[in-house]
Every structure is written in C-alpha cells, then in structure tokens.
Amino acid sequence: MHFKIGKYNLTSVKDLGHLSTRISNSTSTHLTAFLLTGVPGLEDFQIWISIPFSFMYLLAVIGNGLVMAVVVGDRNLHEPMYLFLAMLALNDVLLCTVTVPQMLLIFWKGPSPLTFPACLTQMFFVHALFLSESAVLLAMAFDRYVAICTPLHYATFLTGSLISKVGLALVTRSVAVVTPGVLLILRLRFCRENIIHHTYCENMGIAKLACNSIALNSIYGLTAALLTTGLDFCLISLSYWLILRTVFQLPSREARTKAFATCGAHICVILIFYTLAFFSFFTHRFGDHVPKHVLILLANLYLLVPPTMNPIVYGVKTKEIRMHGKKEANRELLQYHQGISQHNEFTDEATLVQKEISHLLNLKIEQALEPDNFIYTDKPQSREAGIGGGNKPGRLRKIAGP
C-alpha cells in the first residue's frame, strides 16, 4: 500500500506511526492534526467497500431530498406527521454528509489528515445529529400514538406551534448534551501518536489518544447516552406497544393487517437504528475483544443504514406521499406528451400552409400561362427598341388577366 500525506510518502501503516510521532513530539499537549486511517486490517479492500457505501449514500441523499421536496412543495402535506418526516429527512442528509464523504476519501486515497479543530467539529455534529435523529423518531412515534390511540385530540393537540417548539427543543437538547463532551476533550493532554483507526472523529476515538485519565469523559458519555438515546428508545417502545394494543382491538381484519404492516416496517427501522448504535457505543467502551474492523464498519453502518431506509419505509410506504409522487410523475409525463403533441400540431400546420402556398403559386403560374391571357400583335418594334437596327417581327404581349 502506498499513499501520500502532504509532503510525506508513506508505504505502510508503520510509517504512519513514525509520522504521527514526529507531529505529536512537536506539540505534547495540543495536537495540530489527526490521521484517520479508515478500516484497520482491511486497507486492501477499502476500494471495494466504498462501492456499496457510495450507492447507499447517493440513495440516502436522493431519497431524503425527494421526501423534503414533496413535503415542502405541497401545502396539503403541512401536517405534523409529514413535517416530522421532513425533519427526519433533513437530519438524515446532514448525518450522512458529515461522515460519508470523509470516509470515501480515505477509502479512495488512503489515510487522511484532519486538523484538531476540524476533528472536534466533525465529532460535535456526528453526535448532535445522532441525538437529533433519535429525538425525531421519538416525536414521530408520539405523533402516531396520538393519531391512533386518541384521534379526537389529534388536531387540537398537535398544532403548528407545538411542532415548531418540538423542532427547537430537539436542536437545543442535542447542542446542550454534546457541548460538554467537546469541552471535556479540550481539557485532555495529548502526548501519544495521533492516529485514529476510524473513518471519522468520534468522542472515545479521540479521548483514547490522551495521556491523562479519560474516566470523566467515559462516565459523561455513558450517562448522556443512557439519559437521551436510551430514554428515547424506551419511550418509543412504549408508544408502539400502546399503538399495537389499540390495533389488536380494531374490529376490521383488513385494518389490523394494514396497521401491522405499517407499524412493523417502522419498528424494523427503529430496531436497526438503535441496535447498531448501542452495539457500537458499548463495544467502544467495553468490547476490547471485538475486532477493530468490525467496530469501524458497524460505526459507519448505524449512521448510513437508517438514512438509506427511512425514505423507503416512511416515505414510499406513506400513502399521501406516494400518491403525490405519482401525481407529479403523471403531470410531468402529461406535459411531455402535450409538448410533443403541440410540436406535431405546429409541424402539421406549417406543412399545410406550405402546401397551400405551393398550390396557390402553381395555380397562378398555370393561369398566367393560359393562351387566353395572351394576344398576338403584328406591330413591329421601333428601330430604337431593336438591337443593331432594323424592324423585328411582332411578339406575344400579355394582357390584363387574373
């Protein structure tokens, strides 16, 4: 493996260690940069790993972008459920974009340097957007609970004002929880190598490079995760349990089947999101026996799989959004056919006009050449009219005619 970082030509991961030692020796307490190596042990396969990750990223961005465009563009969809769905789509796009481009750059070009401020910024947004994702999923579960279990209070309770407050609250919570984690990183003293065996900067990956104790960082991270994401998961589980209990009581079998299909898809996405997240979170702290490449791949999957699946589960399976998409597609198709039809009509009309003009010209020529339109005059031309003098015989002269 051969790669270049700045002016340094490196041929192995061991050279990264020498380079990181030189950088860290120059500043024992404040590192200027970190080196992100990607997936340890799979360096030769990273170019192949990038193919499905690139596809998933494009699918996530396009799918969530379409969901946002549909919800924002149709005023009939400016209701709580669809507004929460648009929030989730926006959060998914940001969460992918914060991590995946950096990851693909590492997969394609090798280990990538990232300045200390940039690394902290990425860490902040990764954790803040993850908490926002969890909060939006909780809000959507609560929205479904009110709509199914207490439908008479839905319109009066979930108002536009409440939706705005929920959006502001989830952003405030994310910033308030993640900011102390960043401040705890800033208090650490770094005197070891600056290699991070990961595709992006995250809290414990940076903290483990410190020389002094990181017990406070670990305790705060664990407590914050349990009180936010853990609590969100418990409340989401409670909401769907109450929803399913209500669904069981529906008299119509068809209604029960439809509700189970919808709730089942939502529950699957939620379980995938939280299972991957909790596994990655706890193994980073307590799973020293888990292979590094497994940890890194899971840490990327829990940030990429849900954003890829959410537009399908929450968007395509939502009847109103699906119908809106079909309506827009049909309208575009109709406009396309109308454009072709108008073009053909214009072409046909132009052809008819051309034929009419040609017919009139031919008619004029035929009328002009008819014998009745000419008389023979035997009056000789004058000498001046001739060429070379002398009289010339008479000629045909056109008389007034049509």
Residues 6+ away with beta carbon under 8 Å from 156: none
pLDDT score of 250? 77
Residue 27 has pLDDT above 50, yes or no: no
pLDDT score of 6? 44
pLDDT score of 74? 81
pLDDT band (50, 70, 90) for residue 321: low
pLDDT score of 328? 61
pLDDT score of 58? 95
Task: Write the pLDDT tens digit of every residue in 46-57.
Answer: 899 999 999 999
CA gap 335, 341 in Å, rounded: 10
pTM of the predicted structure, to 2 decimals: 0.73
Task: Write the pLDDT tens digit of every residue in 3-20.
Answer: 444 444 555 545 555 554
Q: Is 393 helix (H, G, I), strand (E, B) or coil?
A: coil
User: For all residues of the chain together, what is the average pLDDT?
Assistant: 78
User: Alpha helix locations (H) across 152-230?
Assistant: 154-157, 160-186, 203-207, 215-225
Residue 295 has pLDDT above 60, yes or no: yes
Q: CB neighbours (10 Å) of residue 323? A: 10
Q: Which two tokens stand for residue 220?
A: 């705060």
Residue 33 has pLDDT above 70, yes or no: yes
Question: Which residue, among 126, 286, 142, 288, has the nearest Cα to 218 in the 3D structure?
Answer: 286
User: Percent of the chain having pLDDT more than 90?
Assistant: 32
Mean pLDDT, rounded, for 225-244: 93
With 0-12 / 13-18 / 19 or more C-beta atoms within 10 angstroms meaning exposed / middle / buried, residue 320 is middle
pLDDT band (50, 70, 90) for residue 344: low
pLDDT score of 353? 61
According to the per-residue pLDDT averaged within each range, which of 111-115, 189-193, 229-233 is highest?
A: 229-233
Which CATH architecture does the domain made up of 3-317 adopt?
Up-down Bundle (1.20)
Domain boundaries, the chain: 3-317, 318-369, 370-402
Residue 167 has pLDDT above 50, yes or no: yes
pLDDT score of 319? 63
